[in-house]
């Protein structure tokens, strides 16, 4: 009887779950739509729609908030983080995938911590160290702060890609006279190129969306778009809500494009499986 009753209750439970998911998605869509509509509205004090529509708020936001300089600094910071995390992370992923050494489990645990923990838990001590060495408020400090979660993320993403390559390929290259560096640059890197592209795009998305670490160590000349958006919305001063919403729409569009490109190159379940495997060890 218990099994029969549980089977009868399953459809109701399923409808309840899907109802909650649908309610959440509906509210999320309504919130995003209100921001988008307000960014094009002239005035909106009553009614379902603004009295008129204009694109002037986007040009006002571009001039008032200096979006040209903000986007340039965002590009410089994200590209630097992507380049450094790939240069350091790909060889580290190869070492973890191919070598067994004392303390390997401890290394995997340390790599998981910046990925699993909320950034604010280690962001404040990290910002304190960067301020102590006069790196906070500079591009170098912002890049260093974002490397803390980006580098372990690249290693975790690249490790399964390295494990998928047969070791006989490396052995054959060495038998043909290739040295270790030649094996890595001429054999492994071309085979790992899809994984490198996936890891780089994912790090790009994470860096653009990283608020806590960037906010703690950035200043007006080294802030990314998300920090500039927060400053525009919450710092003292009178600013048009439509201009702030226009800035938010630009950020949402940029994040959505980067996320779609990332999903084209990487399978999220592969990353989750790698994290579970590392956690189990």
Predicted local confidence at residue 268, as pLDDT: 56
Predicted structure pTM score: 0.79
* C-beta of residue 200 within 8 angstroms of C-beta of residue 163: no
Estimate to the nearest angstrom the gap between the alpha carbon of 20 and the chain centroid.
27
Tokens representing 9?
């209750």
Radius of gyration of the chain (CA): 24
Give, for all 281 residues of the chain, the pLDDT tens digit. 444 444 445 566 778 888 888 888 898 888 888 888 888 888 755 666 777 788 888 888 888 888 888 889 999 999 999 999 999 999 989 888 888 778 878 888 888 888 888 888 899 999 999 999 988 888 999 999 999 999 999 998 888 888 888 888 888 888 888 887 888 888 888 888 888 888 888 898 889 888 888 999 988 778 888 888 888 888 777 778 888 888 889 988 888 888 787 777 666 555 555 545 544 55
Closest CA to 71 of 200, 279, 253: 253
Beta bridge partners of 53: 41
- Give the span between the Cα atoms of 40 and 58, in whole angstroms: 8
Q: How confident is the model at residue 1, as a pLDDT?
A: 45
Domains in the chain, start-ordered, CATH in brackets?
1-54 (no CATH), 59-280 (1.10.3720.10)
Two tokens, residue 66: 């200096």
Contact 223, 70 (CB under 8 A): yes
**Residue 270 and residue 34: Cα distance in Å, rounded?**
35
Distance between the two ends of the chain, CA-based, in angstroms? 41
DSSP the chain: -HHHHHHHHHHHHHHHHHHHHHHHHHHHHHHHHHHHHHHHBS--SSSSS-S-B-SHHHHHHHHHTTHHHHHHHHHHHHHHHHHHHHHHHHHHHHHHHH---TTHHHHHHHHHHHHHS-HHHHHHHHHHHHHHTT-TTSHHHHHHHHHHHHHHHHHHHHHHHHHTS-HHHHHHHHHTT--HHHIIIIIIHHHHHHHHHHHHHHHHHHHHH--HHHHHH--TTS--HHHHHHHHHHSSS---HHHHHHHHHHHHHHHHHHHHHHHHH--HHHHHHHHHHHHH-
């Amino acid at each position: 009887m218990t099994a029969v009753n549980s089977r009868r209750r399953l459809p109701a439970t399923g409808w309840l779950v899907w109802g909650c998911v649908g309610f959440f998605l509906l509210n999320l869509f309504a919130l995003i739509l209100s921001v988008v509509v307000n960014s094009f509205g002239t005035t909106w004090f009553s009614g379902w729609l603004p009295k008129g529509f204009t694109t002037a708020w986007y040009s006002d936001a571009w001039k008032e908030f200096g979006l040209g300089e903000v986007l340039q600094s965002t590009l410089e910071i994200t590209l630097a983080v992507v380049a450094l995390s790939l240069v350091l992370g790909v060889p580290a992923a190869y070492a973890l995938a191919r070598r067994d050494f004392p303390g390997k489990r401890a290394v995997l645990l340390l790599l998981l911590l910046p990925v699993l923990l909320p950034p604010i838990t280690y962001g404040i001590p990290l910002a304190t160290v960067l301020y102590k060495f006069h790196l906070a408020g500079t591009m170098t400090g912002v890049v260093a702060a974002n490397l803390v979660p980006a580098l372990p993320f690249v290693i975790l993403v690249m490790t399964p890609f390295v494990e998928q390559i047969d070791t006989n390929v490396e052995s054959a290259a060495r038998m043909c006279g290739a040295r270790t560096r030649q094996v890595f640059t001429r054999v492994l890197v071309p085979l790992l190129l899809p994984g490198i592209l996936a890891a780089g795009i994912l790090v790009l998305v994470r860096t653009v969306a990283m608020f806590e670490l960037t906010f703690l160590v950035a200043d007006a000349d080294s802030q990314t778009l998300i920090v500039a958006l927060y400053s525009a919305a919450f710092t003292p001063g009178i600013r048009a809500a439509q201009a702030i919403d226009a800035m938010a729409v630009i950020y949402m569009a940029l994040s959505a494009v980067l996320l779609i490109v990332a999903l084209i190159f990487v399978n999220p379940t592969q990353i989750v499986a790698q994290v579970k495997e590392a956690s189990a060890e």
